[in-house]
């Protein structure tokens, strides 16, 4: 069953009853096509004496578009729409994850080994030598996915519970791509101190902490504090996962402009979590000049402190040879702002700061939007590699290694590889392991 086709399209399934006579399926398809919708899967679900029932996936722009299609179908005599199924809602019903046992229970003997009395032996062993928890529990393969719901995707501050479907989605990706158990942790509180204290107290349950969709500037304070307090990796994905994939994209994009990344002047428009994370990683990579603009003066001051330079939007556009925009403001970059030969990554989804085709027509050497720059290319392997070698931190060397591994996996003509590339997550994992070993952040065994 198909879920989506094309950016911005909504997938729906129509369950339709048609007379079992020639021509009716064609009339149905015509009514849908004339309404401006593509058709996906068609399958027979029921065969009757005089009518057949089929399910047909269609792609609509909005609920109003769907209503128009249903109205056109209603004009065809003999065809009845029994139901309209929303495929996205269907996929989320009941949630997308579950905690399950991985040991079989065939009889009372198994219960005695897995639970009482046998489990007491394992508990006493860990009490005497805590490091044995790394061998005899799920802790080293378990990552907390922590959010307070203040910066959910493009939705903004919608609260932790409303953000749960995103956290579940991250957990599914963890499991599917690298076999990590991701556990969503919802903290319905905006106070950084509450979040820090909560995560500190539950940290013994996990091998690493993944902060997710927490708004700036609180996200910076929370990550810095937890990094100091905990002896396990802590990573705010909106900052660092995004930064890793953007760096990978730049390593490939600069080929189109003939620039050297380390010598380029890079402008970052929007210094929230993603923009600041990108700026810091580029500086760590060795970029000599990163200039950034933001509506908040505090954000530009933070960039100054990190080694970059705060500036106005006009200055960024006039001085930078590479532009990265993460503002969430469609159309912010006007065609007249684009300078000949610039590389422009307008990463806000679903609508970029400038359409790539318009940027190219305005003189850019290369332009792309955020549809392919998905941080899910980075975070699974980053955490898998860190957990595999018991890293205490995920440092810049590990992030840069991950970015290089992602860039290498891109096929000809791609900025970054597909998230479903067969080798990308394994390659990132191996690169992160090597970088962790080389940079000395491995936790010694007790």
**CATH number of the domain at 10-92, out of 3.40.50.150, 2.120.10.90, 3.40.50.300, 3.30.70.260?**
3.30.70.260
Structure tokens at 158: 């919608």
In this predicted structure, the answer to whether residue 5 has a pLDDT above a threshold of 50 is no
Q: How many CA atoms lie within 13 A of 20 on its CB side?
A: 9
| Fold for the domain defined by 239-446 | Rossmann fold (3.40.50)
In this predicted structure, the answer to whether residue 418 has a pLDDT above a threshold of 90 is yes
The predicted model gives 63-84 an average pLDDT of 93
Nearest to 165 by CA among 59, 89, 62: 89
The verdict on whether 170 is a catalytic residue reads yes
In this predicted structure, the answer to whether residue 395 has a pLDDT above a threshold of 90 is yes
In this predicted structure, the answer to whether residue 173 has a pLDDT above a threshold of 50 is yes
Place of tokens 């000809």: 412
Structure tokens at 117: 């009395």
Asked whether the beta carbons of 385 and 401 are under 8 A apart, the reply is no
pLDDT given at position 96: 95
Q: How far is CA 314 from the centre of its chain?
A: 30
pLDDT digits (tens, 9 = 90+) for 304-317: 999 999 999 999 99
Residue 4 pLDDT class (50, 70, 90 cuts): very low
Average pLDDT value for the chain: 94
Catalytic residue among 21, 115, 193, 334: 115
Domain positions in the chain? 10-92, 138-232, 239-446
Give whole-number Cα distances, 374 to 73, 176, 254, 345, 378, in Å: 38, 16, 19, 13, 8
Residue partners of 3: CB distance under 8 A and separation at least 6? 11, 87, 88, 91
Question: How many angstroms separate the CA atoms of 426 and 382, rounded?
Answer: 10
What is the CATH architecture of 138-232?
A: 3-Layer(aba) Sandwich (3.40)
pLDDT given at position 349: 83
Q: Which pTM value belongs to this model? A: 0.89
pLDDT digits (tens, 9 = 90+) for 99-120: 999 999 999 999 999 999 999 9
Where does 294-421 show beta strands of DSSP type E?
309-310, 322-325, 343-346, 366-369
In this predicted structure, the answer to whether residue 170 has a pLDDT above a threshold of 90 is yes
Structure tokens at 169: 């989605």
Burial code of 383-407, b = ≥16 C-beta within 10 A, e = fewer? Answer: bbbbbbbbbbbbbbbbbbbbbbbbb
The verdict on whether 300 is a catalytic residue reads no
Structure tokens at 157: 């501050």
Residue 8 pLDDT class (50, 70, 90 cuts): low
Question: How many angstroms separate the CA atoms of 341 and 25, rounded?
Answer: 52
Residue 373 pLDDT class (50, 70, 90 cuts): confident
Catalytic residue among 12, 170, 397, 399: 170
Residue 7 pLDDT class (50, 70, 90 cuts): very low
pLDDT digits (tens, 9 = 90+) for 120-132: 999 999 999 999 9
The total number of residues written for the chain in this structure: 446
Equal fold, 138-232 vs 239-446? yes
pLDDT given at position 259: 82
């Amino acid at each position: 069953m198909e879920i989506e086709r094309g950016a911005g399209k909504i997938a729906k399934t129509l369950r339709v009853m048609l007379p079992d006579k020639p021509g009716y399926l064609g009339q149905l398809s015509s009514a849908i096509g004339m309404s401006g919708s593509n058709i996906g899967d068609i399958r027979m679900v029921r065969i009757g004496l005089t009518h057949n029932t089929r399910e047909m996936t269609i792609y609509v722009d909005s609920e109003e578009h769907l209503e128009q299609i249903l109205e056109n179908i209603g004009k065809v005599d003999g065809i009845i729409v029994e139901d309209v199924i929303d495929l996205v809602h269907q996929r989320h019903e009941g949630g997308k994850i579950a905690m399950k046992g991985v040991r079989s229970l065939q009889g009372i003997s198994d219960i005695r080994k897995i639970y009482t009395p046998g489990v007491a032996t394992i508990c006493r062993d860990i009490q005497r030598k805590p490091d044995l928890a790394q061998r005899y529990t799920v802790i080293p393969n378990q990552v907390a996915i922590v959010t307070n719901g203040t910066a959910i995707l493009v939705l903004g501050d919608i609260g932790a519970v409303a953000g749960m479907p995103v956290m579940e989605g991250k957990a599914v990706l963890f499991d599917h791509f690298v076999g990590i158990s991701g556990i969503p942790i919802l903290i319905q509180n905006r106070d950084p101190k509450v979040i820090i204290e909560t995560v500190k107290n539950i940290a013994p349950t996990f091998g690493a902490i993944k902060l997710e969709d927490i708004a700036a500037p609180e996200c910076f304070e929370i990550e810095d504090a937890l990094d100091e307090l905990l002896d396990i990796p802590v990573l705010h994905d909106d900052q660092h996962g995004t930064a890793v994939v953007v760096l990978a994209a730049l390593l490939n994009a600069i080929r189109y402009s003939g620039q050297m990344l380390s010598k380029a002047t890079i402008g970052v428009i929007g210094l929230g979590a993603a923009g600041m994370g990108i700026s810091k990683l580029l500086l760590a990579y060795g970029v000599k000049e990163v200039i950034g603009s933001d509506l908040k003066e505090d954000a530009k001051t933070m960039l100054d402190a990190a080694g970059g330079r705060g500036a106005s939007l006009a200055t960024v556009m006039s001085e930078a040879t590479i532009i990265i925009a993460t503002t969430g403001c469609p159309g912010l970059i006007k065609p007249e702002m684009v300078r000949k030969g610039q590389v422009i990554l307008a990463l806000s989804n679903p609508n970029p700061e400038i359409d790539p085709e318009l940027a190219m027509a305005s003189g850019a050497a290369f332009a792309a939007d955020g549809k392919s720059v998905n941080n899910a290319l980075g975070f699974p392997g980053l955490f898998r590699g860190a957990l595999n070698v018991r890293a205490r931190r995920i440092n810049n060397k590990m992030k840069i290694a991950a970015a290089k591994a992602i860039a290498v996996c891109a096929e000809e003509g791609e900025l970054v590889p597909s998230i479903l590339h067969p080798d990308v997550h394994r390659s990132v994992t191996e690169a992160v392991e090597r970088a962790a070993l080389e940079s000395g952040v491995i936790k010694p065994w007790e």
